Structure 1
Amino acid sequence: MADEDGPDFEVPVGMFQDLEDLKAKVAHLTAQVKALTEGADTASDEASEEGEYDASGEGAEGVDEEENEWQYPPLILLLDPPAYDDELRVLIEWVEGVLVPGYLGEPSADARWCHLWFEHMPAVARLHALWLAWQELTDPATCGYAGPSVWHRDHLDPCIRELRSSAGPFAGCTKGEHQIAHRMPSTVPSAWRHGDD
Protein backbone atom coordinates (compact mmCIF):
# COMPACT_ATOMS: atom_id res chain seq x y z
CA MET A 1 0.00 0.00 0.00
CA ALA A 2 1.48 3.36 -1.09
CA ASP A 3 1.95 6.23 1.37
CA GLU A 4 -0.57 9.02 0.75
CA ASP A 5 1.89 11.77 1.84
CA GLY A 6 4.29 11.28 -1.05
CA PRO A 7 5.56 8.93 -3.72
CA ASP A 8 6.98 5.58 -2.67
CA PHE A 9 10.51 5.39 -4.13
CA GLU A 10 14.05 5.25 -2.78
CA VAL A 11 16.36 8.26 -3.12
CA PRO A 12 20.06 7.43 -3.65
CA VAL A 13 22.36 8.44 -0.78
CA GLY A 14 24.59 10.42 -3.15
CA MET A 15 21.67 12.68 -3.94
CA PHE A 16 21.42 13.71 -0.29
CA GLN A 17 25.14 14.57 -0.27
CA ASP A 18 24.73 16.62 -3.44
CA LEU A 19 21.80 18.42 -1.87
CA GLU A 20 23.82 19.20 1.27
CA ASP A 21 26.68 20.52 -0.90
CA LEU A 22 24.26 22.79 -2.72
CA LYS A 23 22.75 24.03 0.55
CA ALA A 24 26.21 24.87 1.89
CA LYS A 25 27.16 26.70 -1.32
CA VAL A 26 23.91 28.69 -1.30
CA ALA A 27 24.46 29.63 2.36
CA HIS A 28 28.03 30.71 1.60
CA LEU A 29 26.97 32.78 -1.43
CA THR A 30 24.11 34.33 0.53
CA ALA A 31 26.54 35.40 3.24
CA GLN A 32 28.88 36.89 0.62
CA VAL A 33 26.06 38.81 -1.08
CA LYS A 34 24.86 40.11 2.29
CA ALA A 35 28.36 41.28 3.22
CA LEU A 36 28.82 42.99 -0.14
CA THR A 37 25.44 44.73 -0.10
CA GLU A 38 25.89 45.89 3.49
CA GLY A 39 29.29 47.32 2.51
CA ALA A 40 27.73 49.16 -0.43
CA ASP A 41 24.89 50.51 1.72
CA THR A 42 27.37 51.69 4.34
CA ALA A 43 29.47 53.50 1.74
CA SER A 44 26.49 55.27 0.14
CA ASP A 45 24.99 56.37 3.48
CA GLU A 46 28.30 57.38 5.04
CA ALA A 47 28.04 61.06 4.16
CA SER A 48 24.55 61.46 5.63
CA GLU A 49 25.44 59.58 8.82
CA GLU A 50 28.47 61.76 9.54
CA GLY A 51 26.23 64.78 10.25
CA GLU A 52 23.74 63.03 12.57
CA TYR A 53 24.41 63.20 16.31
CA ASP A 54 22.36 62.17 19.32
CA ALA A 55 22.05 63.99 22.64
CA SER A 56 25.27 62.48 24.03
CA GLY A 57 27.27 64.02 21.18
CA GLU A 58 28.12 60.67 19.56
CA GLY A 59 27.15 59.74 16.03
CA ALA A 60 23.68 58.30 15.57
CA GLU A 61 25.10 54.93 14.60
CA GLY A 62 28.03 55.13 17.01
CA VAL A 63 31.57 54.29 15.99
CA ASP A 64 32.03 50.60 15.37
CA GLU A 65 35.53 49.69 16.50
CA GLU A 66 35.42 46.48 14.46
CA GLU A 67 35.18 48.51 11.22
CA ASN A 68 38.79 49.58 11.66
CA GLU A 69 39.99 46.01 12.22
CA TRP A 70 40.81 43.52 9.47
CA GLN A 71 37.70 41.86 8.13
CA TYR A 72 39.77 38.91 6.93
CA PRO A 73 43.09 37.64 8.31
CA PRO A 74 45.99 39.66 6.93
CA LEU A 75 49.26 38.35 5.59
CA ILE A 76 51.19 37.17 8.65
CA LEU A 77 54.23 39.24 7.67
CA LEU A 78 52.17 42.43 8.13
CA LEU A 79 51.39 41.70 11.78
CA ASP A 80 53.17 43.48 14.63
CA PRO A 81 55.20 41.40 17.11
CA PRO A 82 52.56 40.43 19.72
CA ALA A 83 49.97 39.47 17.10
CA TYR A 84 52.65 37.93 14.88
CA ASP A 85 53.92 35.75 17.72
CA ASP A 86 50.42 34.50 18.53
CA GLU A 87 49.65 33.75 14.89
CA LEU A 88 53.01 32.03 14.38
CA ARG A 89 52.49 29.89 17.49
CA VAL A 90 49.18 28.57 16.15
CA LEU A 91 50.67 28.11 12.67
CA ILE A 92 53.55 26.06 14.13
CA GLU A 93 51.05 23.80 15.90
CA TRP A 94 49.19 23.21 12.62
CA VAL A 95 52.31 22.66 10.52
CA GLU A 96 53.93 20.31 13.04
CA GLY A 97 50.70 18.56 14.01
CA VAL A 98 48.92 18.23 10.65
CA LEU A 99 51.06 19.15 7.68
CA VAL A 100 54.41 17.53 8.48
CA PRO A 101 53.13 14.14 9.67
CA GLY A 102 50.29 13.93 7.16
CA TYR A 103 51.78 15.30 3.97
CA LEU A 104 55.55 15.58 4.05
CA GLY A 105 57.75 12.59 3.41
CA GLU A 106 61.40 12.27 4.28
CA PRO A 107 63.40 15.29 3.06
CA SER A 108 65.78 14.69 0.17
CA ALA A 109 67.82 16.70 -2.32
CA ASP A 110 64.74 16.86 -4.56
CA ALA A 111 62.22 17.51 -1.77
CA ARG A 112 63.81 19.77 0.83
CA TRP A 113 62.38 20.68 4.21
CA CYS A 114 63.89 22.59 7.10
CA HIS A 115 62.98 21.73 10.68
CA LEU A 116 63.45 25.44 11.44
CA TRP A 117 61.04 26.47 8.67
CA PHE A 118 59.62 29.27 10.87
CA GLU A 119 62.92 31.16 10.47
CA HIS A 120 62.44 31.35 6.69
CA MET A 121 60.07 34.27 6.06
CA PRO A 122 58.99 33.12 2.57
CA ALA A 123 58.07 29.74 4.07
CA VAL A 124 56.14 31.38 6.92
CA ALA A 125 54.15 33.51 4.46
CA ARG A 126 53.32 30.56 2.18
CA LEU A 127 52.45 28.18 5.02
CA HIS A 128 50.27 30.80 6.69
CA ALA A 129 48.32 31.30 3.47
CA LEU A 130 48.02 27.51 3.12
CA TRP A 131 46.72 27.27 6.68
CA LEU A 132 44.13 30.01 6.14
CA ALA A 133 42.88 28.19 3.03
CA TRP A 134 42.77 24.93 5.00
CA GLN A 135 40.61 26.54 7.69
CA GLU A 136 38.10 27.75 5.12
CA LEU A 137 38.06 24.76 2.80
CA THR A 138 37.78 22.02 5.41
CA ASP A 139 34.58 23.46 6.87
CA PRO A 140 31.58 21.78 5.15
CA ALA A 141 29.30 24.58 6.35
CA THR A 142 31.06 27.11 4.12
CA CYS A 143 32.26 25.07 1.16
CA GLY A 144 30.48 21.72 1.12
CA TYR A 145 32.19 18.39 0.76
CA ALA A 146 34.38 19.38 -2.19
CA GLY A 147 36.42 21.86 -0.14
CA PRO A 148 39.23 19.46 0.87
CA SER A 149 39.71 18.42 -2.75
CA VAL A 150 39.98 22.07 -3.78
CA TRP A 151 42.44 22.71 -0.95
CA HIS A 152 44.68 19.85 -2.07
CA ARG A 153 44.59 20.81 -5.75
CA ASP A 154 44.71 24.61 -5.55
CA HIS A 155 46.65 25.25 -2.35
CA LEU A 156 48.61 22.32 -0.88
CA ASP A 157 50.22 20.94 -4.03
CA PRO A 158 51.49 24.28 -5.44
CA CYS A 159 52.67 25.48 -2.01
CA ILE A 160 54.62 22.34 -1.17
CA ARG A 161 56.05 22.20 -4.69
CA GLU A 162 57.42 25.76 -4.29
CA LEU A 163 58.68 25.28 -0.74
CA ARG A 164 60.44 21.98 -1.40
CA SER A 165 61.93 22.85 -4.78
CA SER A 166 65.67 23.13 -5.25
CA ALA A 167 65.26 26.92 -5.65
CA GLY A 168 62.83 27.30 -2.73
CA PRO A 169 63.48 28.89 0.67
CA PHE A 170 65.08 25.68 2.00
CA ALA A 171 67.63 25.46 -0.82
CA GLY A 172 70.58 25.98 1.54
CA CYS A 173 69.29 23.59 4.19
CA THR A 174 70.29 19.96 4.39
CA LYS A 175 69.03 17.24 6.69
CA GLY A 176 71.35 18.22 9.51
CA GLU A 177 72.11 21.85 8.71
CA HIS A 178 69.97 24.98 8.65
CA GLN A 179 70.83 28.05 6.57
CA ILE A 180 68.87 31.13 5.71
CA ALA A 181 69.86 32.64 2.40
CA HIS A 182 69.62 36.39 2.88
CA ARG A 183 68.97 38.09 -0.42
CA MET A 184 69.82 41.74 -0.20
CA PRO A 185 69.28 44.05 -3.15
CA SER A 186 72.51 45.25 -4.69
CA THR A 187 73.44 48.90 -4.25
CA VAL A 188 72.06 51.00 -7.05
CA PRO A 189 74.45 53.68 -8.34
CA SER A 190 73.07 57.09 -7.53
CA ALA A 191 73.83 60.59 -8.66
CA TRP A 192 73.77 61.60 -5.00
CA ARG A 193 76.61 59.25 -4.14
CA HIS A 194 78.78 60.41 -7.03
CA GLY A 195 78.80 63.93 -5.62
CA ASP A 196 80.31 62.64 -2.36
CA ASP A 197 83.34 61.04 -4.07
Structure 2
Amino acid sequence: MPDNPPQPDAATLTEDVEDLKAHVRAITTQLGALAAGGPPPTSDRNDPNNTEGGEEDEGFPPFILLLDPPEYETELRALTEWVEGVLVPGYLAEASADARWCHLWPHHPVAVARLHALWLAWQELTAPETCGYTGPSTWHRDHYDPCIRELRASTGPFQGCTRGEHQVEHRLPTLVPRAWTHESAPKV
Protein backbone atom coordinates (compact mmCIF):
# COMPACT_ATOMS: atom_id res chain seq x y z
CA MET A 1 0.00 0.00 0.00
CA PRO A 2 1.59 3.30 -1.04
CA ASP A 3 2.23 5.94 1.60
CA ASN A 4 1.16 8.77 -0.69
CA PRO A 5 -2.06 7.99 -2.59
CA PRO A 6 -2.47 9.81 -5.91
CA GLN A 7 -4.00 13.29 -5.57
CA PRO A 8 -6.96 14.17 -7.78
CA ASP A 9 -6.50 17.14 -10.07
CA ALA A 10 -8.28 20.47 -9.49
CA ALA A 11 -10.85 19.86 -12.24
CA THR A 12 -11.90 16.55 -10.65
CA LEU A 13 -12.19 18.16 -7.20
CA THR A 14 -14.25 21.05 -8.58
CA GLU A 15 -16.59 18.63 -10.32
CA ASP A 16 -16.95 16.56 -7.15
CA VAL A 17 -17.69 19.66 -5.07
CA GLU A 18 -20.34 20.84 -7.54
CA ASP A 19 -21.89 17.36 -7.52
CA LEU A 20 -22.02 17.41 -3.72
CA LYS A 21 -23.59 20.89 -3.75
CA ALA A 22 -26.29 19.66 -6.11
CA HIS A 23 -27.01 16.70 -3.84
CA VAL A 24 -27.20 18.95 -0.78
CA ARG A 25 -29.59 21.33 -2.61
CA ALA A 26 -31.83 18.42 -3.58
CA ILE A 27 -31.89 16.96 -0.08
CA THR A 28 -32.48 20.37 1.46
CA THR A 29 -35.42 21.00 -0.87
CA GLN A 30 -36.89 17.60 -0.08
CA LEU A 31 -36.53 18.14 3.68
CA GLY A 32 -38.13 21.57 3.40
CA ALA A 33 -41.11 20.11 1.57
CA LEU A 34 -41.46 17.31 4.11
CA ALA A 35 -41.19 19.72 7.03
CA ALA A 36 -43.95 21.85 5.49
CA GLY A 37 -46.14 18.75 5.30
CA GLY A 38 -46.05 18.35 1.54
CA PRO A 39 -44.72 15.57 -0.64
CA PRO A 40 -41.07 15.67 -1.66
CA PRO A 41 -40.58 17.65 -4.88
CA THR A 42 -40.05 15.60 -8.01
CA SER A 43 -39.15 18.21 -10.63
CA ASP A 44 -35.91 18.13 -12.59
CA ARG A 45 -34.83 21.22 -10.61
CA ASN A 46 -34.34 18.94 -7.62
CA ASP A 47 -32.49 16.25 -9.52
CA PRO A 48 -29.03 16.00 -7.92
CA ASN A 49 -27.54 15.56 -11.38
CA ASN A 50 -29.13 18.80 -12.60
CA THR A 51 -26.75 21.63 -11.74
CA GLU A 52 -28.72 24.20 -13.72
CA GLY A 53 -30.51 26.77 -11.62
CA GLY A 54 -27.47 28.14 -9.78
CA GLU A 55 -27.21 28.44 -6.04
CA GLU A 56 -30.91 29.07 -5.33
CA ASP A 57 -32.33 27.35 -2.27
CA GLU A 58 -35.85 26.79 -3.54
CA GLY A 59 -36.71 24.60 -0.54
CA PHE A 60 -36.66 27.46 1.96
CA PRO A 61 -39.39 30.05 2.34
CA PRO A 62 -38.34 33.67 1.98
CA PHE A 63 -38.35 36.00 4.97
CA ILE A 64 -41.79 37.60 5.20
CA LEU A 65 -40.62 41.22 5.18
CA LEU A 66 -38.97 40.66 1.81
CA LEU A 67 -42.21 39.54 0.16
CA ASP A 68 -44.40 41.78 -1.96
CA PRO A 69 -48.19 41.51 -2.21
CA PRO A 70 -49.89 39.10 -2.76
CA GLU A 71 -47.21 36.72 -1.43
CA TYR A 72 -46.89 38.81 1.73
CA GLU A 73 -50.63 38.55 2.46
CA THR A 74 -50.61 34.79 1.83
CA GLU A 75 -47.66 34.26 4.18
CA LEU A 76 -49.17 36.60 6.79
CA ARG A 77 -52.48 34.66 6.68
CA ALA A 78 -50.62 31.40 7.31
CA LEU A 79 -48.58 33.02 10.09
CA THR A 80 -51.75 34.44 11.65
CA GLU A 81 -53.33 30.98 11.69
CA TRP A 82 -50.31 29.63 13.58
CA VAL A 83 -50.00 32.56 15.99
CA GLU A 84 -53.74 32.68 16.79
CA GLY A 85 -54.28 28.92 16.66
CA VAL A 86 -51.14 27.60 18.38
CA LEU A 87 -48.98 30.27 19.96
CA VAL A 88 -51.54 32.50 21.69
CA PRO A 89 -53.76 29.79 23.18
CA GLY A 90 -50.94 27.39 23.97
CA TYR A 91 -48.18 29.66 25.21
CA LEU A 92 -49.19 33.23 25.92
CA ALA A 93 -50.92 33.85 29.22
CA GLU A 94 -52.88 37.00 29.94
CA ALA A 95 -50.94 40.09 28.96
CA SER A 96 -49.73 42.41 31.70
CA ALA A 97 -47.45 45.41 32.12
CA ASP A 98 -44.53 42.98 32.46
CA ALA A 99 -45.63 40.66 29.64
CA ARG A 100 -47.20 42.73 26.89
CA TRP A 101 -49.12 41.44 23.90
CA CYS A 102 -51.00 43.29 21.22
CA HIS A 103 -53.94 41.58 19.58
CA LEU A 104 -53.19 43.77 16.56
CA TRP A 105 -49.68 42.32 16.26
CA PRO A 106 -49.87 42.13 12.41
CA HIS A 107 -49.68 45.94 12.42
CA HIS A 108 -46.28 45.84 14.16
CA PRO A 109 -43.63 44.99 11.51
CA VAL A 110 -41.05 44.02 14.15
CA ALA A 111 -43.54 41.60 15.70
CA VAL A 112 -44.40 40.14 12.28
CA ALA A 113 -40.71 39.65 11.54
CA ARG A 114 -39.95 37.97 14.88
CA LEU A 115 -43.08 35.80 14.85
CA HIS A 116 -42.41 34.71 11.28
CA ALA A 117 -38.87 33.67 12.20
CA LEU A 118 -40.26 31.84 15.24
CA TRP A 119 -42.83 30.06 13.08
CA LEU A 120 -40.23 29.00 10.50
CA ALA A 121 -38.08 27.54 13.29
CA TRP A 122 -41.14 25.80 14.76
CA GLN A 123 -41.90 24.18 11.40
CA GLU A 124 -38.37 22.88 11.12
CA LEU A 125 -37.83 21.82 14.73
CA THR A 126 -41.17 20.14 15.45
CA ALA A 127 -41.46 17.98 12.33
CA PRO A 128 -40.90 14.41 13.61
CA GLU A 129 -39.27 13.22 10.41
CA THR A 130 -36.58 15.91 10.48
CA CYS A 131 -36.09 17.27 13.99
CA GLY A 132 -35.03 14.31 16.07
CA TYR A 133 -35.77 14.03 19.76
CA THR A 134 -34.28 17.37 20.74
CA GLY A 135 -35.93 19.57 18.11
CA PRO A 136 -38.78 20.85 20.31
CA SER A 137 -36.40 21.54 23.20
CA THR A 138 -34.09 23.42 20.86
CA TRP A 139 -37.04 25.42 19.53
CA HIS A 140 -38.07 26.48 23.04
CA ARG A 141 -34.56 27.34 24.21
CA ASP A 142 -33.11 28.94 21.08
CA HIS A 143 -36.17 30.43 19.41
CA TYR A 144 -39.33 30.74 21.52
CA ASP A 145 -37.83 32.05 24.78
CA PRO A 146 -35.68 34.82 23.24
CA CYS A 147 -38.36 35.84 20.74
CA ILE A 148 -41.17 36.13 23.26
CA ARG A 149 -38.88 37.83 25.77
CA GLU A 150 -38.10 40.52 23.18
CA LEU A 151 -41.70 40.89 21.98
CA ARG A 152 -43.21 41.16 25.45
CA ALA A 153 -40.50 43.35 26.98
CA SER A 154 -41.38 46.85 28.14
CA THR A 155 -39.14 48.14 25.33
CA GLY A 156 -40.49 45.73 22.70
CA PRO A 157 -42.76 46.48 19.74
CA PHE A 158 -45.87 46.43 21.97
CA GLN A 159 -44.51 48.97 24.46
CA GLY A 160 -47.24 51.53 23.77
CA CYS A 161 -50.08 49.03 23.53
CA THR A 162 -52.33 48.43 26.49
CA ARG A 163 -55.76 46.98 26.88
CA GLY A 164 -57.99 49.20 24.83
CA GLU A 165 -55.18 51.25 23.27
CA HIS A 166 -53.07 50.28 20.29
CA GLN A 167 -50.03 52.21 19.08
CA VAL A 168 -47.87 51.32 16.13
CA GLU A 169 -46.26 54.57 15.13
CA HIS A 170 -44.23 54.87 18.32
CA ARG A 171 -41.86 52.12 17.14
CA LEU A 172 -41.42 53.04 13.49
CA PRO A 173 -38.34 55.05 12.50
CA THR A 174 -38.85 57.97 10.13
CA LEU A 175 -37.45 55.96 7.21
CA VAL A 176 -38.89 52.49 6.95
CA PRO A 177 -37.85 49.99 4.28
CA ARG A 178 -40.67 49.56 1.76
CA ALA A 179 -41.00 45.88 2.65
CA TRP A 180 -41.92 46.83 6.22
CA THR A 181 -44.94 48.93 5.31
CA HIS A 182 -47.68 46.65 4.08
CA GLU A 183 -50.88 48.60 4.28
CA SER A 184 -52.98 45.51 3.66
CA ALA A 185 -52.17 43.76 6.94
CA PRO A 186 -55.32 41.95 8.10
CA LYS A 187 -57.31 43.58 10.84
CA VAL A 188 -57.40 41.19 13.75
| Greater C-alpha radius of gyration | 1
The Cα shift of 1:176 comes to: 1.1
1:126 aligns with 2:109: no
Equivalents in 2 of 1:184, 1:149: separation in Å? 39
Q: 1:68 to 1:147 in 2, by over 3 A?
A: closer
CA contact (8 A) 2:22 2:51 kept: no
The answer to whether structure 1 residue 94 and structure 2 residue 82 are counterparts is: yes
Letter in 1 for 2:145: D
Q: Tell me the SS of whatever aligns to 1:167.
A: coil
User: Is residue 2:167 matched to residue 1:184?
Assistant: no
Task: Please report the TM-score for the alignment, with normalisation by the length of structure 2.
Answer: 0.63
Percent sequence identity is 65
Q: Which has the higher helix share?
A: 1
Give the CA deviation at 1:150. Answer: 0.6
Q: TM-score, structure 1 length as denominator?
A: 0.61
Give 1:144 shift.
0.9
Name the residue aligned to 2:7: none
Over 3 Å counting, the alpha-carbon distance change for 1:62 and 1:125 in structure 2 is: closer
For 1:69 and 1:101, how far apart are their aligned partners in 2?
Answer: 33
Cα deviation per residue 1:16-61 (whole Å; 9 max; x = unaligned)? xxxxxxxxxxxxxxxxxx998133999xxxxxxxxxxxxxxxxxx6
Alignment counterpart, residue 123 of structure 2, candidates 130, 135, 139: 135
- The equivalent residue for 1:38 is 21
Distance 2:96 2:18 in 1: 46
Gaps spanning 5+ residues in structure 1: where? 1-33, 43-60, 186-197
Equivalent-residue separation in structure 2 for 1:98 and 1:170 (angstroms): 20
Q: 2-side partners of 1:83 and 1:133: how far apart?
A: 20
**Which residue pairs with 1:112 in the alignment?**
100
Give, as a single letter, the amino acid of the residue that structure 2 aligns with 1:170.
F
The alignment of Structure 1 onto Structure 2 pairs a total of residues equal to 133
Q: Counterparts of 1:110 and 1:165 in 2: how far apart (Å)?
A: 7
